[in-house]
Chains A and B, each alone.
Chain A
Amino acid sequence: MSRVEFILNEKKVEFEGDLNKRLLDVLRDDFGLFGSKEGCGEGECGACAILFNDEIVNSCLLPMANVVNQRVMTIEGFSTTKKYKAIEQSFMDHGAVQCGYCTPGMIIATESLLNKNAKPTEEEIKDGLAGNLCRCTGYNMIIDAIIAVSRREDDLW
């Protein structure tokens, strides 16, 4: 057992337990944050994606030791931001959400991509979403939503 700290959704928090525990389990079981989903549990589907120091990472593969003193932002934390609102609206406008299971991960992937590349091409968007599976939309609507939000006038990114 170890007691460590990390930054969760911009607040310093404590974790006590085995440092090989997966961040995903800590988010869901210890902090009651259910936005990050378990899909494959092997890093292939992206349903558990979170922002780790502003970059997309799969929380199902991240041991707590990697998280000590680092910044984690889940979809819950991100949903209070202006950028989130813009992505959400664009996803709604383009029908990019159907069952919704992949959506938190897709939005995290969008934010991670736009942080590095504010005006991505369609190819770059596909690369940015390479680790996020969606079984409903066929991806085109998600790609359209990301193109639209990245072409806004107000330069959020």
Chain B
Amino acid sequence: MVILPKDYKHTLDALQDEKLTIIAGGTDVMVKNRNWSGLIPRVEGNSINIFQLNELSYIREDESGLHIGAGTKLEELLNSPLIFEPLKAAVREMASPAIRHVGTIGGNVGNASPAGDTLPILYVYDTVIVLESVEGIREISIFEFITGPGKTTRKSNEIIKEIILKNIDYTGFYYEKVGGRRSDAISKLSFVGLYNADEKGTIKDVRIAFGAVYKTIVRNHELERQLLQSLNSEKSMEDIIDEYSQLIQPIDDQRSNANYRKNCSLSLLKSFIQMAGGN
């Protein structure tokens, strides 16, 4: 059975009553539960379809950051002047127009794939996931929300209501998605780097994340601190690159292999370090 909630409150009540499969755009759920043509997809248990809940579709900005409703469609992110350019860069290379017209950001987060292309960007923006149930609102950092491939700490009565990206300053960013073709391809790996330099060229902040090279997105604050120091003191980066190399533990699968993923990730890291003025 599929529940079509009247409104957001009805959704929370229904989630409280039983464990339901949440469906938004369905672009992940429908592929995962694919059945023979003409037969109903094999979705586990009952479902609740939130695609048409307007209450979950919004983009707004305030002191705490950029709030994106979970039901916001990928294409809507591209069309909004409020969305930060690094997020747009990632979304532009996701899937195809047909998928972006229905796929949502909440679905990309909820799916928790290491190859989810919005995720590396959300990690560098210190994104907070806002969950809600009839018991109330719970805010949790994306670092703690996603625990492994397809695994999150969402409780079955909770819905992802919105995500909040911190407003951070940057003077340079580098995003690269490596896929089998230029569009409609799931990432073999992806890389994002952001840095912020002052007028004198001193780097004040640097942030790096890798997608699809580990169980979760790879971002490491300690290494970023070391990198920041090295960038400003013209120290060699070799040790830092070695440390990242330890964190990058990709797998072989149908899209790529571990060796390629690792070498390519480290090359992108080096390109970014050069771009930020390091050597």
Which residues of A are in contact with B by a Cβ distance under 8 Å?
A: 2, 4, 18-22, 24-25, 29, 38, 41-44, 46, 49, 52, 55-58, 60-63, 65-66, 68-70, 109, 112-113, 127-128, 130-132
> Which one of B49, B75, B102 contacts A61 once the chains associate, using CB atoms below 8 Å?
B102
Verify A43–B97 contact, CB threshold 8 A: no
Q: How far is the CB of B40 from chain A (nearest CB, A)?
A: 5
- The contact string, 1 if C-beta is below 8 Å from chain A, for chain B 26-51, is 11001100100110110100010101
Q: Which residue of A lies closest to B95 (CB)?
A: A131
Say whether, besides A2-B2, A29-B38, A65-B4, A128 and B23 are in contact (CB < 8 Å). no
The total of chain B residues at the interface (CB under 8 A) is 30
Say whether, besides A61-B30, A128-B97, A131-B98, A68 and B52 are in contact (CB < 8 Å). yes
Say whether, besides A20-B41, A66-B51, A130-B184, A56 and B101 are in contact (CB < 8 Å). yes
Q: In the bound complex, how far is the Cα of B99 from the Cα of A56, in angstroms?
A: 9
Across the interface, which residues of B come within 8 angstroms of A25, CB to CB? 37-38
Across the interface, which residues of B come within 8 angstroms of A109, CB to CB? 97-98
Say whether, besides A19-B2, A65-B51, A127 and B183 are in contact (CB < 8 Å). yes
Q: In the bound complex, how far is the Cα of B100 from the Cα of A57, in angstroms?
A: 9
> Which one of A49, A63, A131 contacts B2 once the chains associate, using CB atoms below 8 Å?
A63
> Which one of B38, B40, B43, B97 contacts A130 once the chains associate, using CB atoms below 8 Å?
B97
> Does B245 interact with chain A (Cβ within 8 Å)?
no
Verify A66–B25 contact, CB threshold 8 A: yes
> Which one of B4, B37, B96, B97 contacts A2 once the chains associate, using CB atoms below 8 Å?
B4
Q: List 23 A-B contacts (CB under 8 A).
A: A2-B4, A4-B4, A18-B1, A19-B2, A19-B4, A20-B2, A20-B43, A22-B41, A24-B37, A55-B97, A57-B98, A58-B98, A61-B30, A61-B102, A62-B102, A65-B2, A65-B52, A66-B26, A66-B51, A130-B183, A131-B99, A131-B183, A132-B96
Q: Which residue of B lies closest to A63 (CB)?
A: B26
Across the interface, which residues of A come within 8 angstroms of B30, CB to CB? 22, 43, 60-63
